[in-house]
Structure 1
Amino acid sequence: MREARTHERDLKTFVLPEIGRLQATGDAWEPYRLIDPEGQRVEPVAVYFKDLLTADSPATTLYSYGNDLLRWWRFLWAHDIAWDRAVREDARDFTLWMQLADKPMRVHWRHRGKDPAEIARRKPPTRRLAPGTPNPVTGKPTIGKKYAPATRAHCETVLRTFYDFHLDLNSGHLLVNPFPLDRNRRKGRSHAHHNPADEFKHERTGRYRPTVPQRIPRRIPDDKYTEVFAGLRSNRDRALLAFWVSSAARSVELLTATERDALPGQQLIGVIRKGTRDYQQLPASPDAFVWLRLYQEEAWRKGVPRGRNQPLWWTLRRPWRPLNYDAARAMFTRAVELLGANWTLHDLRHTATYRMTEDPEMSLVYVQHILGHKDQSTLQKYLRPSRDEVISAGLAHHARQEAKKNAPPPAPTAPAYNEDSLNTLFGGLVA
């Protein structure tokens, strides 16, 4: 057995160095490559990425996993530890650092090598909220200074599976996985006391895996969506929003559509699903196709490439390039910031889902198929009342209570007569 670390690290003052990088190659055989500070490829990661590609994982998965591996490798490089010599104390310190330390601040390429005081002096004051502060319009907290629980959980899973993969290959000098399983899972059979009548639940398997709170999907209220739509500057952006909020397609799925995928006569838009990569046609609103036609007429007159196999969405200025996700996200961010909100492109998919689930004549089976979800149970979170509905109901309750408090007292009722006295007076004529 290898020896444990005999010294304690000063994690309070540790700053993760920006050394190495995750390089996009543009090669389908190796979409991403982890590069060390000397400019060489990190071979253990390259072997792992090749295995992921063989398992039919998309390039986006390699990009996501690569960022977590780069963060871990920078921690190892900073402490001069070989990847196959890392022990559980190293994983413990890395996890604790991600939990308590602030995220490294990325320096914009225009500001690299300049004095921070000079940058702060020239930078105009902004009205942005403090990190982690709830947005007054949406209620969604802004991005905080700490790593989110979901980010830490994803990182722990990636690193644990990475070392499990190399343990199976008997790579290098690796003897144990530095990211261990939970103590409760190390002994006995998994699900030993499970009731066969109940569904299997997702269990925490990693010892250092945090508890991830269940996030409530956020929708854009109809009145706010109208304001966002009115703030758009081009017919292309209006068509994109109309498709996103009516078809419930993911942002990347819609952006990769071609001209032949839009069928106005059938009111369908075809997309490649993100997970399964199957081709699926989704119904969309008539307004979406109207805005699409207006955008296409303007774009073709300007010289945008035209053809059935050409991309459906292009940049608005020369040189003409297919519209990518980063540009579309920046467009939507500018539109919602005019309202002081922080909605994201994925909130448009949540909005479309809420609208479909609230339609009593729309079966949840159809909603599941349109969303491309594997299990119908994922729709249960959309059947719960949203934040706006809960707040509206609570305010209406307080308004009714206030109305009762300020209402005039009821008029006194007339005194009732004694029936026996009336019978005596009228000789028993009162029935």
Structure 2
Amino acid sequence: MLDHSGPGRDLRSFALPESGRLLATGDVWEPYRLVDQHGLRVEPVAVYFKDLLAADTPATTLRSYGNDLLRWWRFLWALDIEWDRAVREDARDFMLWMQLADKPVRVHWRRRDAPAGEGQPALKAATAAPVPGSPNSVTGKPTIGTKYAASTRAHCETVLRTFYDFHLASNSGSLLINPFPLDRSRRCGRANAHHNPMEDFKAQRTGRYRPRVPERIPRRIPDDKYTEVFAGLRSHRDRALLASWISTGARSEELLTSRERDAIPGQQLIGVIRKGTRVYQQLPASPDAFVWMRLYQEEAWANGVPRGRDRPLWWTLRRPWRPLNYHAARAMFVRANKLLGSNWTLHDLRHTATFRMTQDPELSMAYVQHILGHKYQSTLQKYINPSTDEVIEAGLAHHARQEYKRAHPSPPPSTPAYNPESLGILFGGTPA
């Protein structure tokens, strides 16, 4: 029996239950709904989501917040604690559990429903998989580990702290304190109270239980590896998608918002809806992207894919025809990665496009900033610095030069001799 009291709570044996769900409703008035184990809507979360919608928050943000709130609610349900009765010891134990415990392992529905004997190939494949958290042999990027990442824990802490701040300001329920407090150094005063105006603002930890998140180093796909990934694609649609992502630098979900009218081959432009501002913007693309796009469209229209200027540009490859979403596009790229044993992501294509543009001396940084949709030009600083691949390549070249010098030592310098004519003039007489 799990002890519900704070000091004596045994977190080692705690298992997060798979109760409740975050449902996608398809309703613009309530895009996502958090329900409990009985299918009833969790009202405090629904009120919070409604306030976020009024603040013009995208539905994708509500989905991200909903996953963190669902994790917290499952923790409360397992300990039989009301959401407005949670104290700081409960928040402390929750963040400590996220830091030290393993993530819950969900069994895929195909393996769960498979008859006896059909799960053996899956077990063999699992044994050949790399160790979670180990670096990939092709890309050098670490694989997904068994623990919650620091960025996931930081995002969860921020969401829960702002959720309780909202209900404290609204006097909801019997809530008295925020169980996710600010850092001890931030109890009084404001952030950057003694900031020197001649220096840049420094990021400050605001939550007491918020972890330190290391700055991510963007990785690009080398040209030879990109060619191998591109050759492993199975359809003209996938080739057109990859060529468009790598040339426009658009985010993966932004390119999927394009309509047929947004692709203008004569001007080499593709129109997308930006993720943050949700404004329409035309992006320049390479000629190869439009060649593969035309091949994809001719093939898709011949198979019966709906066509029209207001129709989506990207569709699924099988009936019933549906607009391509992010999850299907990601699954396509994962299949291409498996052929090489790599673990690049769709966002690495955006990093690769950014590296290519920033290394072009004739392309101004102001133009790159506008193409990528960054708010500040300082965001491009990390792309100007040498990438991890360039640093490794330069280091290996240094060791190769040192090895060559050891194998081919240069002859010692000869001792300089005096000029005989100068000696004759100095001492008088003719030198021997």
Deviation, structure 1 residue 122: 4.9
- Structure 1 residues 273 and 429: alpha-carbon distance in aligned structure 2, compared to 1, 3 A threshold: farther
Q: 1: distance between equivalents of 2:142 and 2:408?
A: 39
Q: 2: distance between equivalents of 1:150 and 1:363?
A: 32
Q: Secondary structure at the match of 2:203?
A: coil
Query: Under a length normalisation based on structure 1, what TM-score does the superposition of the two structures give?
Result: 0.95
1:108 lines up with 2:108 in the alignment: yes
- The more displaced of 317-326 and 177-186 is 317-326
Deviation, structure 1 residue 200: 2.2
Deviation, structure 1 residue 327: 1.0
- Structure 1 residues 189 and 68: alpha-carbon distance in aligned structure 2, compared to 1, 3 A threshold: closer
Equivalence for 1:30:
30
Equivalence for 1:416:
417
Backbone CA RMSD of aligned residues: 2.1
Q: Secondary structure at the match of 1:103?
A: coil
Q: Secondary structure at the match of 1:111?
A: helix
Q: Secondary structure at the match of 1:311?
A: coil
Tell me which amino acid in the other structure corresponds to 2:124.
Answer: P
Deviation, structure 1 residue 7: 4.4
Q: 1: distance between equivalents of 2:376 and 2:341?
A: 36
Q: Secondary structure at the match of 1:331?
A: helix
Tell me which amino acid in the other structure corresponds to 2:21.
Answer: R
Q: Secondary structure at the match of 2:109?
A: coil
After superposition, the C-alpha distances for 1:385-429 in whole angstroms (9 at most, x for unaligned) are 111100000000001101110114416637624647851799657
After superposition, the C-alpha distances for 1:132-161 in whole angstroms (9 at most, x for unaligned) are 000011110000000000000000000000
Equivalence for 2:260:
259
Equivalence for 2:405:
404
Gaps of 5+ in 1: none
Q: 2: distance between equivalents of 1:170 and 1:383?
A: 48
Matches within 5 A, 1:20-419: 20-112=20-112, 121-126=120-125, 127-410=128-411, 413=414, 416-417=417-418, 419=420
Q: Secondary structure at the match of 1:125?
A: helix
Number of paired residues? 426
Q: 1: distance between equivalents of 2:426 and 2:370?
A: 80
Q: Is the 8 A contact 1:257 1:270 kept in 2?
A: yes
Q: Is the 8 A contact 1:304 1:320 kept in 2?
A: yes
After superposition, the C-alpha distances for 1:267-311 in whole angstroms (9 at most, x for unaligned) are 100000000000000000011001101111111111110100001
Q: 1: distance between equivalents of 2:413 and 2:77?
A: 85
Q: Is the 8 A contact 2:22 2:33 kept in 1?
A: yes
Deviation, structure 1 residue 123: 2.5
Deviation, structure 1 residue 18: 0.2
Q: Is the 8 A contact 1:5 1:89 kept in 2?
A: no
Q: 1: distance between equivalents of 2:79 and 2:113?
A: 25
Q: 2: distance between equivalents of 1:71 and 1:425?
A: 95
Equivalence for 1:16:
16
Query: Under a length normalisation based on structure 2, what TM-score does the superposition of the two structures give?
Result: 0.94
Q: Is the 8 A contact 2:87 2:179 kept in 1?
A: yes
Deviation, structure 1 residue 97: 0.1
After superposition, the C-alpha distances for 1:315-356 in whole angstroms (9 at most, x for unaligned) are 112111111111111111111221111000000000000000
Q: 2: distance between equivalents of 1:404 and 1:194?
A: 52
- Structure 1 residues 105 and 306: alpha-carbon distance in aligned structure 2, compared to 1, 3 A threshold: same
Deviation, structure 1 residue 74: 0.1
